[in-house]
Amino acid sequence: MKLSFRWYGESDPVTLQNIRQIPGMRSIVSAVYDVKPGEVWPEESLAKMKEQVESNGMLFDVVESIPVHEDIKLGRGNVDQLLEVYCENIRRCAKYGVKCVTYNFMPVFDWTRTQLNKVADDGSTSLVMYWDQMKGLDPLKDDIHLPGWDSSYSQEEVRELIAAYGDLGEEGLWANLEKFLKKVIPVAEECGVVMAIHPDDPPYPIFGLPRIITCEANLDRFLKLVDSPANSLCLCTGSLGCARTNNMVEMVRKYAAMGRIAFMHVRNVKIMEDGSFEERAHLSSCGSLDMYEIVKALVDNGFDGYVRPDHGRMIWGETGKPGYGLYDRALGATYINGLFEACEKAKNA
C-alpha cells in the first residue's frame, strides 16, 4: 500500500510540511489547477510541483486529475484535437515521474452535494446530500448553484450541457468513453502510466444526466472496453458506497483480485432511510461501510496500489476547502495505516 494525500498546490492552506508529518505518508496527489480542460499543462508547472514535493521527502507520482473536456464526453466539436492534448498531458506527467492518473467521465459536475457544512452532534461539519433539499429543483428552468458544481459555467451553459447529455443518453456516453480509452490507453501503456477512472458521485442519475461508472455491472463493462492493466479503477468507497445496491467489500475483493484497482479513495458514508447520505468520520462504526473488511479484501488479494484518505470532516475549529482540511484526513490516514498493519500481520501470521 502506498499512502498518499491530496494537495491543491501553493494556495492550499494544508502545507506539504503539514502532510509530511503524517506517519507513513509517501505520495502527494495533485494536478495543474490553473489550466483549463483541453489545454496542455506547462512542463514548468509539473517540474516545480515535483521539486516542491520531493524537497519535503515525498513523491509526486499521482495526478488527480487530468480533467476530460465536455466535448470529449459529448463526442462533438474538435474532439480529436482534444484527445491529442489529453495524450500529451499524459506524456508530460510521465516525464516528471507520475505513475497513476485519475480522471472521471461524469457529465458536467464532478460531484453533487446539497450542503458543505452540515453540523453533526459532536460539532464537526461535513458534506451531505439530502434528497428533500433536491426536490423541486430544475436546472433547465431555475438558477441553481449546488456544491460541487463548476462555477465557471454560466446557468445558460449548464442548461445547454444538460440538454446535450439528455440527447446523448447513456449509450452515447459509453460510446464516447470507448473512443477516449482506445486513444488514451495505448499512450498510457507506452509511458508506464496507469489510468484510474473515478466512479460517479453519487452513482445514480441526477437531473436526468446519464451516469455510467456506477455499479459492478458497469465497472465490468468499462474494464472490457480496453482490457489492459493500464485501464484500471480509482475505487472510491464513499462514491460507490452511498448506493445501498453496491456491496463495497465484494467489489473491492473482486477488482483487487483482478489487479485492476490502481487507486483507493477510502472514506465512510452514512446512508439514510430515503437514500440521502452524510459523509462521516473514517471509522467503521461512524457510517454504513465496514472499513476493516474493505482493507482486508485489499490485503488478502495482494493490493499494492495507492491509497488516500478521502473527504474529511472539519474538526477542532479548522476552516478551509470543504472535505479537504488537514486534521480529519490525517486521522483517516492513521486509521488506514492501522487497518493495513493489522490485516497484513493477520494474513502473514
Residues with catalytic roles: 198, 236, 265, 310-311, 324
Strands 125-129 and 277-280: antiparallel
Bridge-based pairing of strands 115-119 and 306-309 is unpaired
In angstroms, rounded to a whole number, what is the distance separating the alpha carbons of residues 87 and 345? 41
- Residue 4: asked if its preceding bond is cis (omega within 30°), the reply is no
Residue that has been written with the C-alpha cell 482490457 in this structure:
227
Q: Which residues contact 250 (CB under 8 A, 6 or more apart)?
A: 216, 297
Q: What is the DSSP string of 255-291?
A: HHHTT-EEEEEE-EEEE-TTS-EEEE-SSGGGSSS-H
Rg (CA), the chain: 19
Distance CA 129, CA 147 (A): 10
Q: 474494464: which residue's cell? A: 223
Q: Which of 314, 347, 317, 312 is nearest to 329 (CA)?
A: 312
**Residue 6, phi-psi category: left (phi > 0), alpha (psi -120 to 50), beta (remainder):** beta
* Sign, CA torsion 143/157/152/68: positive
